[in-house]
Chains A and B, each alone.
Chain A
Amino acid sequence: MAKGTLTGSRIRERRVAQAMRQADLAKKAGISASYLNLIEHNRRRIGGKLLLDIAQVLGVEPALLTEGAGAALMASLREAASAVPAAQAELDRVDEFAGRFPGWAEVLSSSQKRISALERSVETLTDRMTHDPHLAASLHEMLSTVTAIRSAASILAEPGDIDPEWQARFHRNIYEDSARLTETSRGLVTYLEADDAEATETGAPQEELDAVLAAAGHYVQDLEEGGTVHSAQKRLGTDLSAPARELLGQWLQRYQKDAQAVPQSDLARAIQKHGADPAALAEHLDADPACVMRRLAAMPEDVLPEGVGLAISDASGVLTYRKPLPEFPMPRFGSACPLWPLYRALNRPMVILSHPVVQTGRPGSDLWVDALAVPVGRVAVNRDPLFEAVMLVRPMPTNTPPHEEPLELGSSCRVCARAVCPGRREPSILVAGA
Protein backbone atom coordinates (compact mmCIF):
# COMPACT_ATOMS: atom_id res chain seq x y z
CA MET A 1 0.00 0.00 0.00
CA ALA A 2 1.38 3.45 -0.88
CA LYS A 3 2.64 5.33 2.15
CA GLY A 4 0.15 8.18 1.81
CA THR A 5 -2.82 5.84 2.14
CA LEU A 6 -2.04 5.09 5.78
CA THR A 7 -2.27 8.72 6.85
CA GLY A 8 -5.63 8.04 8.50
CA SER A 9 -4.19 5.24 10.64
CA ARG A 10 -1.34 7.52 11.73
CA ILE A 11 -3.77 10.29 12.65
CA ARG A 12 -5.71 7.82 14.80
CA GLU A 13 -2.51 6.52 16.35
CA ARG A 14 -1.39 10.04 17.30
CA ARG A 15 -4.84 10.98 18.62
CA VAL A 16 -5.09 7.85 20.78
CA ALA A 17 -1.56 8.37 22.11
CA GLN A 18 -2.64 11.82 23.27
CA ALA A 19 -5.84 10.41 24.82
CA MET A 20 -7.87 12.73 22.63
CA ARG A 21 -11.41 11.82 21.70
CA GLN A 22 -12.28 11.59 18.05
CA ALA A 23 -15.08 14.13 18.49
CA ASP A 24 -12.66 16.65 20.01
CA LEU A 25 -10.09 16.37 17.23
CA ALA A 26 -12.82 16.63 14.62
CA LYS A 27 -14.25 19.75 16.22
CA LYS A 28 -10.87 21.46 16.45
CA ALA A 29 -10.08 20.58 12.86
CA GLY A 30 -13.45 21.89 11.74
CA ILE A 31 -14.91 18.63 10.42
CA SER A 32 -17.58 16.18 11.58
CA ALA A 33 -16.70 13.22 13.81
CA SER A 34 -18.14 10.79 11.25
CA TYR A 35 -15.92 12.24 8.49
CA LEU A 36 -12.88 11.98 10.75
CA ASN A 37 -13.86 8.37 11.43
CA LEU A 38 -13.79 7.67 7.69
CA ILE A 39 -10.38 9.37 7.41
CA GLU A 40 -8.96 7.44 10.34
CA HIS A 41 -10.04 4.19 8.70
CA ASN A 42 -8.38 5.24 5.43
CA ARG A 43 -11.68 5.41 3.60
CA ARG A 44 -11.11 9.06 2.65
CA ARG A 45 -7.89 10.62 1.40
CA ILE A 46 -6.64 13.69 3.18
CA GLY A 47 -4.26 16.41 2.16
CA GLY A 48 -3.87 20.14 1.80
CA LYS A 49 -5.30 22.43 4.46
CA LEU A 50 -7.18 19.74 6.35
CA LEU A 51 -3.96 17.75 6.82
CA LEU A 52 -2.22 20.87 8.06
CA ASP A 53 -5.10 21.65 10.44
CA ILE A 54 -5.15 18.15 11.90
CA ALA A 55 -1.37 18.10 12.23
CA GLN A 56 -1.53 21.41 14.06
CA VAL A 57 -4.15 20.14 16.50
CA LEU A 58 -2.07 17.02 17.14
CA GLY A 59 1.08 19.11 17.53
CA VAL A 60 3.12 17.25 14.91
CA GLU A 61 4.75 17.92 11.59
CA PRO A 62 2.39 17.00 8.71
CA ALA A 63 5.16 14.81 7.30
CA LEU A 64 4.95 12.56 10.35
CA LEU A 65 1.35 11.80 9.42
CA THR A 66 2.09 11.10 5.77
CA GLU A 67 5.47 9.43 6.13
CA GLY A 68 5.18 5.75 7.00
CA ALA A 69 8.35 4.69 8.77
CA GLY A 70 8.51 7.74 11.02
CA ALA A 71 5.07 7.39 12.55
CA ALA A 72 5.45 3.64 13.02
CA LEU A 73 8.72 4.26 14.79
CA MET A 74 7.12 6.84 17.08
CA ALA A 75 4.30 4.44 17.93
CA SER A 76 6.63 1.63 18.93
CA LEU A 77 8.82 4.01 20.96
CA ARG A 78 5.75 5.18 22.86
CA GLU A 79 4.71 1.58 23.40
CA ALA A 80 8.17 0.81 24.80
CA ALA A 81 7.91 3.80 27.16
CA SER A 82 4.42 2.82 28.37
CA ALA A 83 5.66 -0.67 29.20
CA VAL A 84 8.04 0.85 31.77
CA PRO A 85 6.03 3.68 33.38
CA ALA A 86 8.46 3.91 36.31
CA ALA A 87 11.14 5.21 33.95
CA GLN A 88 8.95 8.26 33.17
CA ALA A 89 10.37 8.54 29.66
CA GLU A 90 10.02 12.02 28.12
CA LEU A 91 7.18 11.19 25.76
CA ASP A 92 6.88 14.77 24.55
CA ARG A 93 10.46 14.55 23.25
CA VAL A 94 10.21 11.24 21.48
CA ASP A 95 10.37 12.96 18.08
CA GLU A 96 13.56 14.71 19.12
CA PHE A 97 15.05 11.44 20.38
CA ALA A 98 14.25 9.62 17.13
CA GLY A 99 15.60 12.53 15.10
CA ARG A 100 18.88 12.84 17.04
CA PHE A 101 19.52 9.13 17.58
CA PRO A 102 17.82 7.28 14.70
CA GLY A 103 19.94 4.15 15.16
CA TRP A 104 19.19 3.80 18.86
CA ALA A 105 15.54 4.63 18.21
CA GLU A 106 15.42 1.80 15.68
CA VAL A 107 17.08 -0.60 18.13
CA LEU A 108 14.55 0.27 20.82
CA SER A 109 11.65 0.00 18.37
CA SER A 110 12.77 -3.41 17.08
CA SER A 111 13.28 -4.70 20.61
CA GLN A 112 9.80 -3.55 21.62
CA LYS A 113 8.21 -5.27 18.61
CA ARG A 114 10.08 -8.45 19.43
CA ILE A 115 8.99 -8.29 23.07
CA SER A 116 5.34 -7.81 22.05
CA ALA A 117 5.51 -10.74 19.63
CA LEU A 118 7.16 -12.96 22.24
CA GLU A 119 4.59 -11.97 24.88
CA ARG A 120 1.79 -12.93 22.50
CA SER A 121 3.46 -16.28 21.81
CA VAL A 122 3.99 -16.93 25.50
CA GLU A 123 0.38 -16.00 26.20
CA THR A 124 -0.90 -18.45 23.60
CA LEU A 125 1.47 -21.23 24.58
CA THR A 126 0.97 -20.86 28.31
CA ASP A 127 -2.77 -20.77 27.91
CA ARG A 128 -2.55 -23.99 25.98
CA MET A 129 -0.01 -25.85 28.11
CA THR A 130 -1.73 -25.02 31.37
CA HIS A 131 -5.35 -25.40 30.51
CA ASP A 132 -5.72 -27.55 27.42
CA PRO A 133 -7.15 -30.84 28.74
CA HIS A 134 -6.42 -32.61 25.46
CA LEU A 135 -2.77 -31.57 25.53
CA ALA A 136 -2.36 -32.56 29.19
CA ALA A 137 -3.91 -35.97 28.54
CA SER A 138 -1.77 -36.54 25.41
CA LEU A 139 1.44 -35.63 27.21
CA HIS A 140 0.55 -37.90 30.09
CA GLU A 141 -0.16 -40.77 27.71
CA MET A 142 3.14 -40.20 25.91
CA LEU A 143 5.18 -40.19 29.10
CA SER A 144 3.38 -43.24 30.45
CA THR A 145 4.09 -45.13 27.21
CA VAL A 146 7.76 -44.09 27.29
CA THR A 147 7.95 -45.27 30.91
CA ALA A 148 6.53 -48.67 29.97
CA ILE A 149 9.00 -49.01 27.07
CA ARG A 150 11.92 -47.98 29.26
CA SER A 151 10.98 -50.41 32.04
CA ALA A 152 10.56 -53.35 29.65
CA ALA A 153 13.77 -52.55 27.76
CA SER A 154 15.73 -52.26 31.04
CA ILE A 155 14.55 -55.69 32.10
CA LEU A 156 15.56 -57.22 28.76
CA ALA A 157 18.93 -55.47 28.80
CA GLU A 158 19.89 -56.75 32.25
CA PRO A 159 22.67 -59.32 32.36
CA GLY A 160 21.62 -62.88 33.09
CA ASP A 161 18.82 -65.00 31.76
CA ILE A 162 15.22 -64.16 31.85
CA ASP A 163 12.44 -66.68 31.47
CA PRO A 164 11.67 -67.02 27.71
CA GLU A 165 7.96 -66.43 28.34
CA TRP A 166 8.68 -63.15 30.14
CA GLN A 167 11.16 -62.23 27.46
CA ALA A 168 8.50 -62.70 24.79
CA ARG A 169 5.98 -60.68 26.80
CA PHE A 170 8.29 -57.74 27.24
CA HIS A 171 9.31 -57.80 23.58
CA ARG A 172 5.62 -57.72 22.65
CA ASN A 173 4.97 -54.88 25.11
CA ILE A 174 7.79 -52.82 23.61
CA TYR A 175 6.46 -53.45 20.13
CA GLU A 176 2.90 -52.41 21.08
CA ASP A 177 4.00 -49.40 23.08
CA SER A 178 6.29 -48.20 20.29
CA ALA A 179 3.36 -48.23 17.88
CA ARG A 180 1.18 -46.39 20.42
CA LEU A 181 3.91 -43.84 21.02
CA THR A 182 4.17 -43.22 17.29
CA GLU A 183 0.46 -42.53 17.01
CA THR A 184 0.32 -40.34 20.11
CA SER A 185 3.34 -38.33 18.98
CA ARG A 186 1.92 -37.89 15.51
CA GLY A 187 -1.42 -36.76 16.90
CA LEU A 188 0.25 -34.35 19.29
CA VAL A 189 2.38 -32.76 16.57
CA THR A 190 -0.67 -32.39 14.33
CA TYR A 191 -2.60 -30.85 17.18
CA LEU A 192 0.16 -28.39 18.08
CA GLU A 193 0.73 -27.42 14.47
CA ALA A 194 -2.95 -26.98 13.68
CA ASP A 195 -3.69 -23.50 12.40
CA ASP A 196 -6.42 -21.59 14.26
CA ALA A 197 -8.34 -21.20 11.03
CA GLU A 198 -8.55 -24.92 10.35
CA ALA A 199 -10.68 -27.51 12.03
CA THR A 200 -8.56 -30.32 13.41
CA GLU A 201 -9.64 -33.83 14.15
CA THR A 202 -7.39 -33.98 17.22
CA GLY A 203 -8.82 -30.80 18.78
CA ALA A 204 -11.60 -30.45 21.37
CA PRO A 205 -15.07 -29.93 19.79
CA GLN A 206 -15.28 -26.34 21.08
CA GLU A 207 -11.89 -25.58 19.50
CA GLU A 208 -13.04 -27.04 16.20
CA LEU A 209 -16.16 -24.88 16.33
CA ASP A 210 -14.10 -21.78 17.19
CA ALA A 211 -11.86 -22.41 14.18
CA VAL A 212 -14.83 -22.81 11.79
CA LEU A 213 -16.54 -19.67 13.08
CA ALA A 214 -13.32 -17.65 12.88
CA ALA A 215 -12.78 -18.79 9.27
CA ALA A 216 -16.38 -17.79 8.42
CA GLY A 217 -15.95 -14.39 10.10
CA HIS A 218 -18.76 -15.37 12.51
CA TYR A 219 -21.17 -14.54 9.66
CA VAL A 220 -23.48 -17.00 7.89
CA GLN A 221 -24.83 -15.42 4.72
CA ASP A 222 -27.18 -18.28 3.87
CA LEU A 223 -28.99 -17.87 7.18
CA GLU A 224 -29.15 -14.10 6.67
CA GLU A 225 -30.89 -14.77 3.38
CA GLY A 226 -33.42 -17.24 4.75
CA GLY A 227 -31.52 -20.47 4.14
CA THR A 228 -31.81 -23.54 6.35
CA VAL A 229 -29.69 -24.56 9.32
CA HIS A 230 -29.18 -27.96 7.69
CA SER A 231 -27.58 -26.54 4.54
CA ALA A 232 -25.39 -24.13 6.54
CA GLN A 233 -24.31 -26.97 8.83
CA LYS A 234 -23.50 -29.13 5.81
CA ARG A 235 -21.46 -26.34 4.23
CA LEU A 236 -19.50 -25.33 7.31
CA GLY A 237 -19.23 -28.64 9.14
CA THR A 238 -17.64 -30.85 6.45
CA ASP A 239 -14.39 -31.56 8.31
CA LEU A 240 -15.73 -31.44 11.85
CA SER A 241 -15.92 -34.29 14.32
CA ALA A 242 -19.42 -35.43 15.30
CA PRO A 243 -19.44 -33.57 18.65
CA ALA A 244 -18.21 -30.37 16.98
CA ARG A 245 -20.84 -30.68 14.27
CA GLU A 246 -23.50 -30.94 16.96
CA LEU A 247 -22.20 -27.78 18.65
CA LEU A 248 -22.20 -26.07 15.26
CA GLY A 249 -25.82 -27.11 14.71
CA GLN A 250 -26.86 -25.58 18.05
CA TRP A 251 -24.95 -22.38 17.26
CA LEU A 252 -26.55 -22.13 13.81
CA GLN A 253 -30.03 -22.65 15.24
CA ARG A 254 -29.57 -19.70 17.56
CA TYR A 255 -28.01 -17.67 14.74
CA GLN A 256 -31.08 -18.30 12.60
CA LYS A 257 -33.46 -17.24 15.40
CA ASP A 258 -31.41 -14.11 16.02
CA ALA A 259 -31.32 -13.25 12.29
CA GLN A 260 -35.09 -13.61 12.08
CA ALA A 261 -35.60 -11.45 15.19
CA VAL A 262 -33.13 -8.76 14.07
CA PRO A 263 -32.70 -8.85 10.27
CA GLN A 264 -29.40 -7.55 8.94
CA SER A 265 -31.03 -4.76 6.92
CA ASP A 266 -32.88 -3.41 9.98
CA LEU A 267 -29.76 -3.60 12.09
CA ALA A 268 -27.63 -1.89 9.44
CA ARG A 269 -30.04 1.07 9.33
CA ALA A 270 -30.15 1.29 13.11
CA ILE A 271 -26.35 1.22 13.31
CA GLN A 272 -26.21 4.31 11.07
CA LYS A 273 -28.12 6.15 13.77
CA HIS A 274 -26.91 4.59 17.01
CA GLY A 275 -23.53 3.08 16.19
CA ALA A 276 -22.77 -0.18 17.99
CA ASP A 277 -24.53 0.79 21.23
CA PRO A 278 -26.53 -2.39 22.03
CA ALA A 279 -28.89 -0.71 24.52
CA ALA A 280 -29.83 2.03 22.05
CA LEU A 281 -30.15 -0.46 19.21
CA ALA A 282 -32.32 -2.79 21.30
CA GLU A 283 -34.66 0.05 22.16
CA HIS A 284 -34.80 1.27 18.56
CA LEU A 285 -35.47 -2.21 17.20
CA ASP A 286 -37.64 -3.34 20.14
CA ALA A 287 -35.38 -6.38 20.46
CA ASP A 288 -33.68 -8.36 23.19
CA PRO A 289 -30.33 -6.63 23.98
CA ALA A 290 -28.48 -9.97 24.26
CA CYS A 291 -29.74 -10.88 20.78
CA VAL A 292 -28.58 -7.48 19.49
CA MET A 293 -25.10 -8.09 20.94
CA ARG A 294 -24.89 -11.46 19.19
CA ARG A 295 -26.08 -9.86 15.94
CA LEU A 296 -23.48 -7.10 16.19
CA ALA A 297 -20.75 -9.71 16.51
CA ALA A 298 -22.01 -11.36 13.32
CA MET A 299 -22.12 -8.22 11.19
CA PRO A 300 -19.69 -7.98 8.27
CA GLU A 301 -17.31 -5.07 7.76
CA ASP A 302 -19.57 -3.24 5.33
CA VAL A 303 -22.23 -3.00 8.05
CA LEU A 304 -19.92 -2.50 11.02
CA PRO A 305 -16.51 -1.23 9.84
CA GLU A 306 -15.00 -1.23 13.31
CA GLY A 307 -15.43 -4.83 14.34
CA VAL A 308 -16.66 -5.85 17.77
CA GLY A 309 -15.68 -8.70 20.04
CA LEU A 310 -18.07 -10.94 21.92
CA ALA A 311 -17.80 -13.40 24.80
CA ILE A 312 -20.60 -15.64 26.07
CA SER A 313 -20.38 -17.44 29.39
CA ASP A 314 -22.63 -20.04 30.93
CA ALA A 315 -23.70 -19.86 34.58
CA SER A 316 -20.56 -21.71 35.70
CA GLY A 317 -18.32 -19.06 34.15
CA VAL A 318 -17.11 -21.19 31.22
CA LEU A 319 -16.69 -19.27 27.98
CA THR A 320 -18.96 -21.00 25.47
CA TYR A 321 -18.31 -18.52 22.69
CA ARG A 322 -15.46 -16.14 22.01
CA LYS A 323 -14.87 -13.65 19.27
CA PRO A 324 -11.76 -11.76 20.40
CA LEU A 325 -10.41 -8.46 19.12
CA PRO A 326 -6.69 -7.84 18.55
CA GLU A 327 -6.85 -5.28 21.38
CA PHE A 328 -8.88 -7.61 23.58
CA PRO A 329 -7.68 -11.21 23.38
CA MET A 330 -9.70 -13.92 25.11
CA PRO A 331 -8.20 -17.13 26.51
CA ARG A 332 -8.91 -20.30 24.58
CA PHE A 333 -8.63 -22.54 27.61
CA GLY A 334 -9.27 -22.09 31.29
CA SER A 335 -11.08 -19.13 32.76
CA ALA A 336 -10.85 -15.52 31.76
CA CYS A 337 -10.07 -12.53 33.98
CA PRO A 338 -12.55 -12.53 36.92
CA LEU A 339 -12.81 -8.74 36.66
CA TRP A 340 -14.61 -8.96 33.33
CA PRO A 341 -18.08 -7.36 33.52
CA LEU A 342 -19.25 -10.62 31.89
CA TYR A 343 -19.01 -12.31 35.29
CA ARG A 344 -20.40 -9.39 37.29
CA ALA A 345 -23.42 -9.51 35.00
CA LEU A 346 -24.20 -13.01 36.31
CA ASN A 347 -24.58 -11.44 39.77
CA ARG A 348 -26.84 -8.71 38.37
CA PRO A 349 -29.02 -10.44 35.81
CA MET A 350 -31.17 -8.41 33.44
CA VAL A 351 -29.06 -5.25 34.01
CA ILE A 352 -26.80 -3.99 31.21
CA LEU A 353 -23.40 -3.19 32.71
CA SER A 354 -21.64 -0.64 30.50
CA HIS A 355 -18.06 0.56 31.04
CA PRO A 356 -14.98 1.94 29.33
CA VAL A 357 -12.17 -0.59 29.63
CA VAL A 358 -8.51 -1.07 28.88
CA GLN A 359 -6.61 -4.34 28.86
CA THR A 360 -3.53 -4.56 31.08
CA GLY A 361 -0.36 -4.27 29.06
CA ARG A 362 -2.14 -2.85 26.01
CA PRO A 363 -2.02 0.89 26.48
CA GLY A 364 -3.99 3.07 24.13
CA SER A 365 -6.67 0.46 23.49
CA ASP A 366 -9.82 2.55 23.98
CA LEU A 367 -12.62 0.09 24.31
CA TRP A 368 -16.13 -0.08 25.66
CA VAL A 369 -17.80 -3.12 27.15
CA ASP A 370 -21.50 -3.93 27.59
CA ALA A 371 -22.44 -7.03 29.55
CA LEU A 372 -25.80 -8.59 30.26
CA ALA A 373 -26.97 -11.86 31.84
CA VAL A 374 -30.29 -13.24 30.63
CA PRO A 375 -32.21 -16.39 31.49
CA VAL A 376 -31.87 -19.38 29.20
CA GLY A 377 -34.91 -21.35 28.13
CA ARG A 378 -38.53 -20.86 29.06
CA VAL A 379 -39.97 -19.77 32.38
CA ALA A 380 -41.05 -22.83 34.34
CA VAL A 381 -43.02 -23.46 37.49
CA ASN A 382 -40.92 -23.78 40.67
CA ARG A 383 -37.69 -23.84 38.71
CA ASP A 384 -34.95 -21.24 39.10
CA PRO A 385 -33.82 -19.94 35.72
CA LEU A 386 -30.39 -20.72 34.35
CA PHE A 387 -28.52 -17.61 33.25
CA GLU A 388 -26.14 -16.96 30.39
CA ALA A 389 -23.97 -13.83 30.22
CA VAL A 390 -23.04 -11.96 27.04
CA MET A 391 -20.32 -9.33 26.81
CA LEU A 392 -19.82 -7.07 23.79
CA VAL A 393 -16.43 -5.40 23.33
CA ARG A 394 -16.46 -2.43 20.97
CA PRO A 395 -14.22 0.50 20.09
CA MET A 396 -14.74 3.59 22.23
CA PRO A 397 -17.81 5.40 20.87
CA THR A 398 -17.07 8.71 19.16
CA ASN A 399 -19.70 10.69 21.03
CA THR A 400 -18.87 9.43 24.51
CA PRO A 401 -19.59 11.97 27.22
CA PRO A 402 -17.04 12.36 30.05
CA HIS A 403 -16.92 9.00 31.79
CA GLU A 404 -15.32 7.24 34.70
CA GLU A 405 -11.78 5.84 34.58
CA PRO A 406 -11.65 2.77 32.36
CA LEU A 407 -11.71 -0.58 34.11
CA GLU A 408 -8.36 -2.31 33.83
CA LEU A 409 -8.95 -5.89 32.78
CA GLY A 410 -6.74 -8.83 31.94
CA SER A 411 -7.06 -11.75 29.57
CA SER A 412 -6.33 -14.47 32.14
CA CYS A 413 -4.44 -14.48 35.44
CA ARG A 414 -1.52 -16.49 34.18
CA VAL A 415 -0.45 -13.92 31.61
CA CYS A 416 -1.66 -10.73 33.29
CA ALA A 417 0.97 -8.17 34.21
CA ARG A 418 -1.15 -6.55 36.94
CA ALA A 419 0.93 -6.82 40.09
CA VAL A 420 -1.86 -6.44 42.66
CA CYS A 421 -5.31 -7.80 41.91
CA PRO A 422 -8.04 -8.96 44.30
CA GLY A 423 -9.24 -11.47 41.75
CA ARG A 424 -5.91 -13.19 41.01
CA ARG A 425 -6.36 -16.96 40.93
CA GLU A 426 -2.85 -18.06 40.01
CA PRO A 427 0.60 -16.49 39.72
CA SER A 428 1.43 -14.65 36.52
CA ILE A 429 4.45 -15.60 34.51
CA LEU A 430 4.87 -11.90 33.76
CA VAL A 431 5.08 -10.63 37.32
CA ALA A 432 7.81 -11.79 39.69
CA GLY A 433 6.42 -12.85 43.06
CA ALA A 434 2.78 -12.37 42.03
Chain B
Amino acid sequence: MAGHVLLIEDEPNIIEAIRFILSREGWRVDTHSNGVDAADVVRAKSPDVLILDVMLPGRSGYDILRDLRGAPDTEELPVLMLTARGQNKDREMAERAGASRFMTKPFSNAEVLDAVRSLTVTS
Protein backbone atom coordinates (compact mmCIF):
# COMPACT_ATOMS: atom_id res chain seq x y z
CA MET B 1 0.00 0.00 0.00
CA ALA B 2 1.26 3.49 -0.91
CA GLY B 3 0.18 5.13 2.35
CA HIS B 4 -2.64 6.81 4.22
CA VAL B 5 -4.17 10.10 3.04
CA LEU B 6 -6.69 12.20 4.94
CA LEU B 7 -8.69 14.56 2.71
CA ILE B 8 -10.50 17.48 4.40
CA GLU B 9 -12.79 19.05 1.81
CA ASP B 10 -16.49 19.99 1.88
CA GLU B 11 -17.25 19.47 -1.84
CA PRO B 12 -18.60 15.88 -2.05
CA ASN B 13 -17.83 15.30 -5.73
CA ILE B 14 -14.24 16.45 -5.33
CA ILE B 15 -13.95 14.01 -2.43
CA GLU B 16 -15.30 11.19 -4.59
CA ALA B 17 -12.97 11.90 -7.52
CA ILE B 18 -9.82 12.29 -5.38
CA ARG B 19 -10.69 9.22 -3.32
CA PHE B 20 -11.09 7.22 -6.57
CA ILE B 21 -7.77 8.25 -8.14
CA LEU B 22 -5.75 7.81 -4.94
CA SER B 23 -7.37 4.47 -4.01
CA ARG B 24 -6.61 3.21 -7.48
CA GLU B 25 -2.92 3.93 -6.82
CA GLY B 26 -3.00 1.98 -3.60
CA TRP B 27 -3.63 4.80 -1.12
CA ARG B 28 -5.96 4.36 1.85
CA VAL B 29 -8.17 7.46 1.83
CA ASP B 30 -10.16 8.88 4.74
CA THR B 31 -12.24 12.00 4.36
CA HIS B 32 -13.79 14.70 6.53
CA SER B 33 -15.85 17.70 5.46
CA ASN B 34 -16.17 19.98 8.49
CA GLY B 35 -13.62 22.51 9.65
CA VAL B 36 -14.79 22.76 13.27
CA ASP B 37 -13.33 19.45 14.48
CA ALA B 38 -10.89 18.89 11.60
CA ALA B 39 -7.75 19.26 13.74
CA ASP B 40 -9.05 16.61 16.17
CA VAL B 41 -9.80 14.25 13.27
CA VAL B 42 -6.25 14.72 11.92
CA ARG B 43 -4.76 13.84 15.31
CA ALA B 44 -7.07 10.82 15.66
CA LYS B 45 -6.47 9.43 12.15
CA SER B 46 -2.72 10.22 12.05
CA PRO B 47 -2.37 10.15 8.22
CA ASP B 48 0.87 10.10 6.23
CA VAL B 49 -0.34 13.03 4.11
CA LEU B 50 -3.07 15.61 4.70
CA ILE B 51 -4.94 17.29 1.83
CA LEU B 52 -6.63 20.37 3.30
CA ASP B 53 -9.05 22.80 1.64
CA VAL B 54 -8.82 26.45 2.71
CA MET B 55 -12.52 27.32 2.75
CA LEU B 56 -14.29 24.89 5.06
CA PRO B 57 -17.49 25.24 7.03
CA GLY B 58 -16.83 26.37 10.57
CA ARG B 59 -13.10 27.03 10.44
CA SER B 60 -10.62 28.02 7.75
CA GLY B 61 -7.93 25.67 6.54
CA TYR B 62 -5.28 28.27 7.53
CA ASP B 63 -6.44 28.19 11.17
CA ILE B 64 -6.55 24.40 11.21
CA LEU B 65 -3.04 24.20 9.77
CA ARG B 66 -1.62 26.72 12.25
CA ASP B 67 -3.17 24.65 15.00
CA LEU B 68 -1.56 21.46 13.66
CA ARG B 69 1.85 23.11 13.25
CA GLY B 70 1.71 24.15 16.87
CA ALA B 71 1.47 20.57 18.13
CA PRO B 72 4.48 18.19 18.29
CA ASP B 73 2.69 15.19 16.79
CA THR B 74 1.52 17.11 13.69
CA GLU B 75 4.15 19.82 13.19
CA GLU B 76 5.97 17.74 10.57
CA LEU B 77 2.89 16.32 8.85
CA PRO B 78 3.08 16.85 5.05
CA VAL B 79 0.15 19.07 4.04
CA LEU B 80 -1.15 19.83 0.56
CA MET B 81 -3.34 22.95 0.72
CA LEU B 82 -6.16 23.47 -1.80
CA THR B 83 -7.58 26.89 -2.55
CA ALA B 84 -9.59 28.77 -5.17
CA ARG B 85 -7.33 31.84 -4.87
CA GLY B 86 -4.00 31.60 -6.63
CA GLN B 87 -2.36 34.97 -6.13
CA ASN B 88 1.12 35.28 -4.66
CA LYS B 89 -0.27 36.62 -1.41
CA ASP B 90 -2.44 33.49 -1.03
CA ARG B 91 0.58 31.28 -1.66
CA GLU B 92 2.54 33.26 0.93
CA MET B 93 -0.31 32.95 3.40
CA ALA B 94 -0.38 29.19 2.92
CA GLU B 95 3.39 28.98 3.39
CA ARG B 96 3.24 31.13 6.52
CA ALA B 97 0.52 28.87 7.94
CA GLY B 98 2.84 25.92 7.33
CA ALA B 99 1.65 24.28 4.08
CA SER B 100 4.13 21.89 2.47
CA ARG B 101 2.54 22.42 -0.95
CA PHE B 102 -0.16 24.68 -2.37
CA MET B 103 -2.53 23.97 -5.23
CA THR B 104 -5.18 26.19 -6.80
CA LYS B 105 -8.53 25.03 -8.08
CA PRO B 106 -9.27 23.82 -10.63
CA PHE B 107 -6.42 21.33 -10.56
CA SER B 108 -5.95 18.14 -12.55
CA ASN B 109 -5.97 14.63 -11.14
CA ALA B 110 -2.39 14.19 -12.30
CA GLU B 111 -1.30 17.27 -10.31
CA VAL B 112 -2.89 15.90 -7.14
CA LEU B 113 -1.24 12.50 -7.63
CA ASP B 114 2.15 14.08 -8.26
CA ALA B 115 1.83 16.29 -5.21
CA VAL B 116 0.80 13.44 -2.89
CA ARG B 117 3.60 11.22 -4.19
CA SER B 118 6.19 13.95 -3.74
CA LEU B 119 5.00 14.67 -0.20
CA THR B 120 5.31 11.01 0.69
CA VAL B 121 8.85 10.84 -0.66
CA THR B 122 10.01 13.92 1.24
CA SER B 123 8.32 13.03 4.54
Contacts and interface: CB of A to CB of B under 8 A. Distances in A.
Contacts of B107: 147, 150
A177 B13 contact: yes
A152 B13 contact: yes
Interface stretch (B17-25, B35-43, B69-77, B92-100): B17-25
Given A143-B84, A151-B21, A176 B108 contact: no
A144 B84 contact: yes
Contacts of A147: 11, 14, 105-107
Given A140-B84, A155-B21, A148 B109 contact: no
B13 A173 contact: yes
B16 interface: yes
A170 B11 contact: no
Interface in A150-190: 150-152, 154-155, 166, 169-170, 173, 176-177
Interface residues of B, number: 16
Contacts of B11: 144-145, 147-148
Given A151-B21, A155-B20, A146 B105 contact: yes
B115 interface: no
Nearest to A139: B84
B14 A144 contact: yes
A173 B108 contact: no
Nearest to B82: A147
B55 interface: yes
Contact of A148 (B17, B21, B108): B17
A151 B17 contact: yes
A261 B55 CA distance: 47
Contacts of A155: 17, 20-21, 109
Contacts of B17: 148, 151-152, 155, 170, 173
Chain A at the B interface: SS class: helix
A169 B108 CA distance: 19
A150 B110 CA distance: 11
Contacts of A150: 106-108
A82 to B, nearest CB: 32
A155 B84 CA distance: 21
Given A143-B105, A150-B108, A166 B14 contact: no
Contacts of B84: 139-140, 142-144
Given A139-B84, A154-B109, A148 B20 contact: no
24 contacts: A140-B84, A142-B84, A143-B84, A143-B105, A144-B11, A144-B14, A145-B11, A147-B11, A147-B14, A147-B107, A148-B11, A148-B14, A148-B17, A150-B108, A151-B13, A151-B18, A151-B109, A152-B13, A154-B108, A154-B109, A170-B17, A170-B20, A173-B16, A177-B13
Given A139-B84, A173-B17, 12 more contacts: A140-B55, A140-B84, A143-B84, A144-B11, A147-B107, A152-B17, A154-B108, A169-B16, A170-B16, A170-B20, A173-B13, A176-B13
Interface of B: 11, 13-14, 16-18, 20-21, 55, 84, 105-110
Q: Which 6 A-B pairs have the closest CB atoms?
A: A151-B17, A148-B13, A143-B84, A147-B106, A143-B105, A147-B105
